[in-house]
A and B are shown apart, each in its own frame.
Chain A
Amino acid sequence: MPTVSMTVNGQTVSAEVDGRTLLVEFIREHLALTGTHVGCDTSQCGACVVHVNGEAAKSCTMLAVQANGASVTTIEGLSEGDDLHPMQAAFKDNHGLQCGFCTPGMIMSAVDLAKRNPNPTEAEIRKGLEGNICRCTGYHNIVKAVAQGAAGMRG
């Protein structure tokens, strides 16, 4: 079995994995970081979004071995301890989540979106979140949250 090594949330991890192990399986099952979720099997829902080398990636659509040597950030690593990243705070402030299942992937996508486009319009936010499905919120408050979160990230 191949060995994979990567940095996850600042810590170096290394493990032998079955070659077909998906990055999301590695994160959830080997590292027990269960904030990253699986909502589909066709790379459509975005519940699994993490950052790989600073960019949003669907961790269900990558093999763990493809992330060998990479730096991965999951929702658990977005902010320290009990602190909140501005995007996390914005989701709470705007009631941008209900069941919370899509939320980690949604926040990781939103952070990436705001990095690439620090001052997005409503239409740009909606377009930018096209790869993340939420069944609960109707997106209305997510859109508001992302606008506030992006503003918070601009500082």
Chain B
Amino acid sequence: MNDSVAGIGARVLRREDFRFIKGRGKYVDDMVLPRQTYAVIVRSPHAHATVNSIDSSAAAAMPGVVRVLTSKDFEAFGGLPCGWLVNNQNGDPMVEPKHPILAEGKVRHVGDPVAVVIANTKAQARDAADAVVVDYSELPAVVNMRQALSNPPAAVHDEAPGNLCYDWALGDKETVDAAFAGAAHVTRLEFTNNRLSPNAMEPRCAIGDYDRSNGDHTLYTTSQNPHVIRLLMGAFVLSIPEHKLRVYAPDVGGGFGSKIYHYAEEAIVTVAAKVIGRPVKWTSDRTEAFLSDAHGRDHVTTAELALDADGKFLGLRCDTLANMGAYLSTFAPCVPTYLHATLLAGQYKTPLIYCNVKAVFTNTVPVDAYRGAGRPEATYLLERVIDKAAREMKIDPAEIRRRNFIQPDEFPYQTPVALVYDTGNYEATLSAALAASDYAGIAARKAEAKSRGKLRGIGLSCYIEACGIAPSAVVGSLGARAGLYEAATIRVNPTGSISVLTGSHSHGQGHETTFAQVVADQLGQPIENIDIVHGDTARIPFGMGTYGSRSIAVGGAAIVKAVDKIIAKGKKIAAHLMEASADDVVFENGQFKVAGTDKQIDFGSVALTAYVPHNFPLEELEPGLEETAFYDPANFTFPAGSYVCEVEVDPETGVVEVCSMHASDDFGNIINPMIVEGQVHGGLVQGIGQALLEQAVYDDNGQLLTASYNDYTMPRADDMPSFTVDHQITACTHNPLGVKGCGEAGAIGSPPAVINAIVDALSELGVEHVEMPATPRKVWRAIQAAKK
């Protein structure tokens, strides 16, 4: 670390905070363009229906209405693309039905967009939207995944008469079955990984603008990855070449995955702005967000673990049904496959693993990546079945994990499910978590709780995730239709200030601080002189955006690569100025020095010389000091850790109180511990929310029963405890900062810790499992059922 600047490892307060705490953030909905109009979308009230006719004549005649658009107006355009192809076991490609911008002849989920009303004010657009008459013939709704496959009430898409999108498998079933046949013990668990709605607090918003003077389109949108939207929407949907389409995502109020995807509304406002010749703004309300933002999770799984008599894992066998919803969202097919099955080794040396995943179409909102994306599902599967096995075999849950851990001297470690872990120390995070949570002292706390009529339990979860997404060649071979590198430009301005243009996008992660710390550290410059620019395709060369805990591991690495180029060029300029050989110039603490002498020249002078090249080696070097780097990672990164949760259950009411949660994580090197801890806290609450409170519930007719905050239980301050967190460090071996990423860990590691704690509390009553979310009703019922 460079001590003279607010560099790597320092708890630098966030530079972005000032504008937010003053109310000066600039979110898309805060923007008002001259002559702006407002779009309101008419959405299907039915889960599955034929659209017989749309009569918009009354709506079109209402005050302030500029235009009503229906699917006919979008006939010239493509459907919303899916970015990942998954093949069936037999090698055939998955079924990939068209996802039209506006429903074409059929609606397939409640909230499916049918028509768009554009008016001078939002109120006028809303009034007119109510006057659009759509004649539907209802069809049977496909809601339950098992039924969708075994006894389908209807086909969501004609191309998939049995509602199967793909039937995929990883591993060799026969050898795994053989391991089970010889096992001393087999533990089996059936469970649901509950469907969630991501609920970033800022609802999605998009403004389309079209410049008739030059044919330029601008889309302002709430996106985690503006360049990806430009690529997907420009190339695959609307056929707008990149140089004619600017996508700008300014301040974005949280994403958690839900703002990765290209959504219909982005195409709608882009097209509409050109059609009417005025800017068009669409802002989601919360109910609309529940009905149109991609949901997360929604797996139904059977997991079996085979063990020898000592509790050593011999094999893991699982079957998962994964809900795709009504259409394939951008990354949906890869979530239950390459982000789920490949993580099923966890922190353990399980030699044989088989996982079958059947992806199912239903008449529900599309399901895609939500914070953790596949990895929370894998962690939950593994950590629940291991806990159950430990209980059945009367081995302490911590001990059974220890017996199976991959050891620190066994890295790089090739798992049986494709991934190669580069580094880790699972015992270190486990012991830290057990010590911090006084795991050994639980018996006394249980006894004390019992004296108050409460049942206390402690639960453990050891997670691993694959982050730093991703080596392009690897994901390409697995069906990704994009590369997953990152880009960065370092622009050193003539007077020495520095603009960092990054393809990562910050929507709460604090890149304006963290990335500036990295550059300050490496260039020895004060952080005040460094600006981080993100979110705008007009200013940033390229980028794949922020998701999968990739920003620091991939985006940060791209920045370091660009900094290296700046230093290399700076050395040549400095060598010329100091009349030395570039090979003899070293760069330290912001000074270019001739090694072994007292000659030195500061960074600012080199920058100025680069732009005022009066004394400059022009024959070998171009003026200017600006460098771009693209970084494609060599491997995934593998953050891992151990979480310990302690709960108290009231057996009379089934109410669960989370008494404590300790997170011990290994994120590799840490740039800003304050920000990393904040990421963990946020993830923990989303994970505890999944475990105890949250669920997107559809009724048998495909109506979403939880489409508002009155019905979908968001975690609130008084539902949660404060947390303790610590960090153990094994540096990532293959990126320049040694970082692994921290954004999703909390949401991945915590749900099984909570449920394991509840089961521990209730085990004396004979309860073996409680489904998420473990609401008082479910817990109470589990207690009653066990009593019988």
Contacts and interface: CB of A to CB of B under 8 A. Distances in A.
Contacts of A154: none
B202 interface: yes
A88 interface: yes
B2 interface: no
B101 to A, nearest CB: 25
A98 B254 contact: yes
B212 interface: no
Interface string A18-41: 101000000010001111111111
A81 to B, nearest CB: 10
Contacts of A103: 20-21
Residue from A28, A99, A102 having most chain B Cβ neighbours under 10 A: A99
A101 B254 contact: yes
A47 B201 contact: yes
Contacts of A99: 200-202, 251-254, 507-508
A136 B717 contact: no
B675 interface: yes
SS of B interface (majority):
loop
Contact of A138 (B201, B682, B718): B682
B32 A32 contact: yes
A93 B253 CA distance: 20
Interface in A120-151: 122-123, 125-127, 129-130, 132-143
B203 A39 contact: yes
A140 B684 CA distance: 10
B364 to A, nearest CB: 21
B723 interface: yes
A74 B681 contact: no
Interface size class of B (residues with CB under 8 A): 35 or more
Nearest to B251: A100
Interface string A103-117: 110010000000000
Given A20-B123, A47-B201, A97-B17, A125 B23 contact: no
A7 interface: no
B253 A101 contact: yes
A44 B199 CA distance: 13
A64 interface: no
Nearest to B675: A95
Residue from A37, A45, A47, A127 having most chain B Cβ neighbours under 10 A: A37
SS of A interface (majority):
loop
Interface string B695-725: 0000000000000111000111110101100
A75 B18 CA distance: 12
A44 B135 CA distance: 34
Nearest to A137: B682
B418 interface: no
Interface in A69-91: 74-76, 78-79, 82, 84, 88, 91
B21 A107 contact: yes
A35 to B, nearest CB: 2
Contacts of A39: 201-203, 286
Given A32-B32, A33-B23, A99-B252, A140 B681 contact: yes
Nearest to B681: A138
A100 B682 contact: no
Contact of B708 (A36, A40, A100, A135): A40
A126 B254 contact: no
A44 to B, nearest CB: 4
B720 A126 contact: yes
B726 to A, nearest CB: 14
B674 A41 contact: no
Contacts of A79: 22
Contact of A44 (B23, B123, B683, B710): B710
Contacts of B13: 92-93, 95
Contact of B200 (A37, A42, A135): A135
Contacts of B25: 35, 100-101
Interface string B60-88: 00000000000000000000000000000
Contacts of A101: 25, 27, 200-202, 253-254
A100 B27 CA distance: 10
Nearest to A93: B13
Nearest 6 Cβ contacts at the A-B interface: A35-B23, A101-B253, A100-B20, A99-B508, A75-B23, A138-B681
Interface of A: 18, 20, 28, 32-42, 44-45, 47, 74-76, 78-79, 82, 84, 88, 91-93, 95, 97-104, 107, 122-123, 125-127, 129-130, 132-143
17 contacts: A34-B27, A34-B29, A35-B25, A39-B202, A40-B285, A42-B708, A93-B13, A95-B14, A95-B674, A95-B678, A99-B201, A99-B507, A134-B201, A136-B682, A138-B680, A141-B681, A143-B717
Given A20-B123, A129-B716, A138-B681, 5 more contacts: A34-B23, A104-B21, A126-B720, A132-B716, A139-B716
